[in-house]
Structure 1
């Protein structure tokens, strides 16, 4: 087994955990199955992660990073603000469509953390991370397009996190992607209404 920097090994194990948990579920995924998925020994796993909580936090952060990178790229300024905002939502939605199992895993992680004493902070961190992610994207949009929002960034960020969270779950359950597109158009219009032109 080739030596690899610790941070890179953690990323490798985190991605293996995401694949294993998406396939087998959180409760059925073991440290042994994650190590096997990554092609490393169990001792390497335990060297990189000292607890299940540390692993789950890394998984939550990695999944969020997967879609934030595509959204960040998508919200580079377009000819109109409407096109820019809609492109961001579309990029997120494309990620949900391409990786539904990964998004289902986020809900499973939330429930898992809320039902395990001592793990509740992971669910809280997950949703704080969603809000922080939207706040970062809103600031990027505000600064690159010189916008003035009529509500504070943290408030709008939490609204957008709650809206996309609910919409994602709704479509994962009902499978109505056309309705999701219509709702994203509606949310785009609502966001535009919160910009002081």
Structure 2
């Protein structure tokens, strides 16, 4: 077996775990089946991960990064601010549509962590990652266009995480793609209304000064 840097080997095993868990479920996936999926010995697995918690945390972080990478690449200046925001949501949704099993796994991981004594912090870490991902993407949006939020970034990040999390589960249960598109349009409209474009603040301040002088 070819030698591989430990970080790359961990990544290989994590992706293998995602495939195995998506196919067989979290509870039925064993370290042996993950090692077999990755094509490595069980000793290699235990060398890379010293506990199941460590593996599951890596799985959660990697699944989140799958979606975030697509959204990050999609967020670039468009004709309007609203189109820029909507393109990011569309990139996320394209990943959901292409990988429903992987997204279904995220909910199974949450339930597993909450029900398994000693694993509860993994569920908390999972949802903290969702919010952190949105904070990063909102920051990217601001840097690209010089936009400013009219609400605290952490509050909007939690709101968006909750909205997309709920919408994803709704789609996995009902399979209504048209309804999902309409809801994403609504979310994009809402977010666009919470973002101030360059010059808006200055314009308001000037208008305010002018109004004071006219009175």
Deviation of the 1:196 alpha carbon: 2.6
Query: Could you list the per-position Cα deviations for residues 41-93 of structure 1 after superposition, in whole angstroms to 9, with x for gaps in the alignment?
Result: 00000000000000000000100111111100111111211110000000000
Alignment of 1:47-196 (within 5 A): 47-196=47-196
Q: Which runs of 5+ in 1 are unaligned?
A: none
| Separation in 2, partners of 1:176, 1:10 | 36
| Separation in 1, partners of 2:146, 2:196 | 11
CA-atom RMSD in angstroms: 0.6
Instruction: Please report the TM-score for the alignment, with normalisation by the length of structure 2.
Output: 0.91
Instruction: Please report the TM-score for the alignment, with normalisation by the length of structure 1.
Output: 0.99
| Separation in 1, partners of 2:144, 2:76 | 8
User: Alignment length, in residue pairs?
Assistant: 197
Per the alignment, residue 46 of structure 1 pairs with 46
Query: Could you list the per-position Cα deviations for residues 81-122 of structure 1 after superposition, in whole angstroms to 9, with x for gaps in the alignment?
Result: 111000000000000000000000000000000001110000
Q: After the TM superposition, which parts of structure 1 deviate over 4 Å for at least 4 consecutive aligned residues? A: none
Query: Could you list the per-position Cα deviations for residues 116-164 of structure 1 after superposition, in whole angstroms to 9, with x for gaps in the alignment?
Result: 1110000000000000000000011012111111101100000000000
Deviation of the 1:193 alpha carbon: 1.1
| Separation in 1, partners of 2:4, 2:136 | 31
* Structure exhibiting the larger radius of gyration computed from Cα positions: 2
Q: Which runs of 5+ in 2 are unaligned?
A: 198-215
Deviation of the 1:180 alpha carbon: 0.2
